Amino acid sequence: MEHTIITGIQHFGPELTMEQISDLYERAKAARTFSYSPYSKFAVGAALMGESGRIYLGCNIENGAYSPTNCAERTALFKAVSEGEHKFVRIGLIGGYTNPENIVPNCNPCGVCLQALSEFCDPDRFLVLMYSGDGSVRIHTLRELLPYGFNFMGIGMIMGG
């Protein structure tokens, strides 16, 4: 699929090519097929790239008690961390109701996922790619999406300023 870039940042760097944008899209789309979402019927796939270049896939996994539900972003992150990767450069997300062709525009991460990612990512360099079914992709830095993330070591809001 050819992608049209819609971005909130002025420059996303020469290290992010259209081929990489398409690759993350395809991987996130594939991860979405494994979603366990019988309650919301909203399936999400994530492809998280580590600093090593390795890509970790994740999908949302729901639970009837709701609270134990895990988002696709955290599934990919926890998988990566459990396998020894601790620094990340970008994540691609795609989501929509369980019909494979039903993709919502710009499926963005929730606040819990953004906070979890902030533990391991440079807020000014980590990119979040949110894909739409029409081929567009919105690209933001972590700082744009979570300007005041909490960090215990900094006793509070260290990302904001």
Over residues 93-102, mean pLDDT: 86
**Is 128 a residue whose pLDDT tops 50?**
yes
pLDDT of residue 116: 97
Q: In terms of pLDDT, which residue wins out, 148 or 114? A: 114
Q: In terms of pLDDT, which residue wins out, 16 or 138? A: 138
Go through the domains of the chain in sequence order and give each one's CATH number. Answer: 4-157 (3.40.140.10)
Helix (H, G, I), strand (E, B) or coil at 45: strand
Q: What is Dmax (Cα atoms) for the chain? A: 44
Over residues 131-152, mean pLDDT: 88
* Predicted TM-score (pTM) above 0.85: yes
Strand pairing report for 88-97 and 156-157: unpaired
- Residue 108: exposed, middle, or buried by beta-carbon count in 10 A (0-12, 13-18, 19+)? middle
Over residues 101-122, mean pLDDT: 92
**Is 45 a residue whose pLDDT tops 80?**
yes
Residues labelled as active-site residues: 73
CA distances for 159 relative to 38, 41, 48, 108, 142, angstroms: 36, 34, 21, 19, 10
**Is 152 a residue whose pLDDT tops 90?**
no
The first and second tokens of residue 151, run together, are: 């960090």
**Is 8 a residue whose pLDDT tops 60?**
no
CA–CA gap between residue 146 and residue 85 (Å, rounded): 22
pLDDT of residue 10: 47
1 confidence band (pLDDT: 50, 70, 90) = low
The first and second tokens of residue 115, run together, are: 């906070």
